[in-house]
DNA sequence: TATAAGCTTAGAGTTAACTCTAAGGTCAAT
DNA sequence: ATTGACCTTAGAGTTAACTCTAAGCTTATA
């Protein structure tokens, strides 16, 4: 039986994050001491590790919730349900990659066009391009 | 001179977003009527279009603020400053793409391993992989 | 003149996934 | 018995970029 900080050490999650995941139904301590301390048994630990693995892959907490509900009752769920979740995630990832690649292309082209030197930016081709909207503008914006 | 909704139509930004950008110092209406209505002149419109173009490329509002401060006084700034901002963004984009490609690889491999059929998930190789942490887990997680 | 469309502000809400704080209780070791 | 490390809870704060609401004014049209 592990305490919360020990589970944290095992999984690489902070106690704060573990409690946060608990609040969202992802992780549970099947035992509590009288004082309320959480204790995690082997099954709890495996579930927590499952969560961490899924998180590392990039699944959202919501996705993970669905995967967990399959995990606790595999007989009632199909491989298709699992691949649906996985494929949906893959589609999101592919879309985002396409957006980012479009940004990359634009940024590279801009960089290639500018001297990058210490001269005044009055003649800067990047500023010019931004001023003139000379940029293929297919995708949604968004942080890196 | 354009009203806020007309500027919105021109740029594809909502009036809400235009006011939000104003609050963050990106866009300004150089004239206001007595009643307080914003009116945008040609220069304001060009600045707003610059912002929209930069946003489309993927620059953050913070990046755009820096680009704008160069834009209003190009003599005092260099091409190097412009490329620094651009290259920094490109680096972020490249890092994010690398993370997402790692996710894509993992997700594709998982999908390839599972039958995806209507059978019970008791034998599902995706669930097994998640249970056993059999996944290369190099990158930070994050939504799509 | 009445109605509707559009404008104003301040400020709250949204989303995801944490991250931290405060105030106090518990436990192992000295 | 006293540290000090660790635990508890409820709830607030963070980040980015919006997005919306409320309550009330203005303007154009019919
Ligand atoms: Zn130059
Ligand atoms: Zn330049
Ligand atoms: Zn199967
Ligand atoms: Zn399967």
Q: What is the mean pLDDT of residues B102-112?
A: 97
Residue A112 has pLDDT above 80, yes or no: yes
Which whole number is the average pLDDT over B42-50? 98
CA A66 – CA A140 distance, rounded (Å): 28
Q: Residue A1: which CATH number? A: 1.10.1660.10
Measured between CB atoms, which of A49, A50, A78 is closest to B120?
Answer: A78
Spacing of C-alpha B115 from chain mean position: 37
The answer to the question of residue B125 being in a domain is no
Distance CA(A99)–CA(A64), nearest Å, equals 25
Number of domains in chain A: 1
Q: Which domain holds residue A2?
A: 1-58
Position B116 in a domain = no
Distance B66 CA to ligand 3 centre (A): 53
pLDDT tens column, A59-81:
999 999 999 999 999 999 999 99
Of all residues in chain A, the percent with pLDDT exceeding 70 is 94
Q: How far is Cα A132 from Cα B84, in angstroms, rounded to an integer?
A: 21
- The per-residue pLDDT for range B86-104, each reduced to its tens digit, is 999 999 999 999 999 999 9
List A residues 63-102 in contact with B (Cβ-Cβ < 8 A): 67, 70-71, 74-83, 86-87, 89-90, 92-97, 99-101
Give mean pLDDT, residues A102-118. 97
With 90 as the cut, is the pLDDT of residue B112 above it?
yes
pLDDT of residue A135: 86
- Rounded Cα distance between B112 and A102, Å, is 28
A22-47 pLDDT tens trace: 999 999 999 999 999 999 999 999 99
Mean pLDDT computed over B64-82: 98
How many angstroms separate the CA atoms of A98 and B89, rounded? Answer: 16
pLDDT of residue A138: 55
Tell me whether residue B31 is in a domain. Answer: yes
Q: What is the pLDDT of residues B10-25, one digit of tens each?
A: 999 999 999 999 999 9
- Region B109-120 average pLDDT: 97
Q: Is residue A88 part of a domain?
A: no
Nucleotide with minimal C1' distance from the CA of A144 is D16
**Domain-located, residue A77:** no
* Residue B46: per-residue pLDDT: 98
Q: Which nucleotides of C are covered by protein (CB under 7 A)?
A: 6-9, 16-21, 25-27
Q: Could you tell me the pLDDT band of residue A134, with boundaries at 50, 70 and 90? A: confident
Q: Is B119 on the interface with A (CB under 8 A)?
A: yes
Domain assignment present for residue A38? The answer is yes
Residues from chain A that touch B77, judged by Cβ atoms under 8 A, are 120-121
Query: CB distance from B36 to chain A under 8 Å?
Result: no
Which positions of strand D lie within 7 Å of protein CB atoms? 6-9, 16-21, 25-27
Q: How far is it, in rounded angstroms, from Cα A20 to Cα A48?
A: 12
In a domain, B43, yes or no: yes
Within a domain: A64: no
A20 touches strand C (CB under 7 A): yes
pTM of the model: 0.92
């Amino acid at each position: 039986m592990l305490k919360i900080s020990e589970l944290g050490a095992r999984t690489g999650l902070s106690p704060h994050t573990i409690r946060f995941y608990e609040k969202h139904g992802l992780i549970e301590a099947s035992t509590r001491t009288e004082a309320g301390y959480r204790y995690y048994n082997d099954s709890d630990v495996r579930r927590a590790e499952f969560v961490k693995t899924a998180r590392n892959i990039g699944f959202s907490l919501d996705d993970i919730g669905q995967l967990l509900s399959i995990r606790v009752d595999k007989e009632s769920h199909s491989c298709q349900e699992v691949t649906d979740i996985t494929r949906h995630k893959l589609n999101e990832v592919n879309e985002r990659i396409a957006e980012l690649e479009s940004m990359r292309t634009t940024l590279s082209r801009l960089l290639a066009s500018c001297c990058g030197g210490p001269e005044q930016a009055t003649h800067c081709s990047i500023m010019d391009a931004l001023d003139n909207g000379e940029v293929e503008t297919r995708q949604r914006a968004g942080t890196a």
